[in-house]
A and B are shown apart, each in its own frame.
Chain A
Amino acid sequence: DTGVSQDPRHKITKRGQNVTFRCDPISEHNRLYWYRQTLGQGPEFLTYFQNEAQLEKSRLLSDRFSAERPKGSFSTLEIQRTEQGDSAMYLCASSLRRAVDTEAFFGQGTRLTVV
């Protein structure tokens, strides 16, 4: 297994356009998380899934943001009508939840620049 992979690694878009990012977690992991990290700050939690169910969403996740994990495997994060303030690194992580959690493994992230 090659770990958590994210695609694309970099995305430049014009303000007002929609963008979609993909995350492929470690294959047996049933939990998947999305974070946003701006320059000089730590990652901020956005949302997470257990299998295909979205269990929690942060208040940071405005109506323009939507995340899905349709078959409990890969996940997508879509941002509609992008704004310059959306420029950030978007991180995905996964973990295995049984009786207790394993540690979260992070991908390398997708860097979004809105111009």
Chain B
Amino acid sequence: GNSVTQMEGPVTLSEEAFLTINCTYTATGYPSLFWYVQYPGEGLQLLLKATKADDKGSNKGFEATYRKETTSFHLEKGSVQVSDSAVYFCALSGDNAGGTSYGKLTFGQGTILTVHP
């Protein structure tokens, strides 16, 4: 079955540091890949997505590239801010009974990011 593995956290950085959160996946076929973010007290929000190999998703300074050869979708940001402190989830969606659904997701375990001033 499908699975997602994220680097273990928590991750603690100083403001303006470079961020990488590793994510690898196992899936049949050609899944779509996502990063979701959960800020304290809020629901999950889509941060970025990529739907085919070599696609790069980007949003709010975050980027991730769909690497089929290494089955990876690592999240990066060049300069983090205190406001980026949150839990980050890597996820994938694949084909299912009702056709490909971006809502039927397999999530990783999440990585807690804390950014200090």
Contact status A48-B43, CB under 8 Å: no
Q: Please report the C-alpha to C-alpha distance between residue A4 and residue B46 in the assembled complex, in whole angstroms.
A: 14
Known interface pairs A56-B98, A94-B103. Does A108 touch B42 (Cβ–Cβ under 8 Å)? yes
Contact status B102-A101, CB under 8 Å: yes
Contact status A42-B43, CB under 8 Å: no
Known interface pairs A4-B43, A106-B43. Does A56 touch B104 (Cβ–Cβ under 8 Å)? yes
Q: Please report the C-alpha to C-alpha distance between residue A104 and residue B92 in the assembled complex, in whole angstroms.
A: 12
Contact status B107-A97, CB under 8 Å: no
Among the listed A44, A56, A101, A108, which residue makes an inter-chain contact with B97, where contact means beta carbons less than 8 Å apart?
A56
Q: Is B108 interfacial (CB 8 A cutoff)?
A: yes
Residues in A neighbouring B97, C-beta threshold 8 A: 55-56
Contact residues of A: prevailing secondary structure: strand
Q: Is B64 interfacial (CB 8 A cutoff)?
A: no
Known interface pairs A56-B96, A56-B98. Does A48 touch B103 (Cβ–Cβ under 8 Å)? yes
Contact status B98-A43, CB under 8 Å: no
Among the listed B36, B89, B100, B108, which residue makes an inter-chain contact with A101, where contact means beta carbons less than 8 Å apart?
B100
Q: Is A62 interfacial (CB 8 A cutoff)?
A: no
Contact status B103-A93, CB under 8 Å: yes
20 pairs from A and B in contact (CB 8 Å cutoff): A33-B104, A42-B4, A42-B109, A43-B107, A45-B104, A48-B103, A55-B97, A56-B98, A56-B104, A91-B44, A95-B102, A95-B103, A97-B98, A97-B101, A101-B101, A101-B103, A103-B49, A103-B102, A105-B46, A106-B44
Q: Which residues of B contact A (CB under 8 A)?
A: 4, 34, 36, 42-46, 49, 89, 91, 96-110
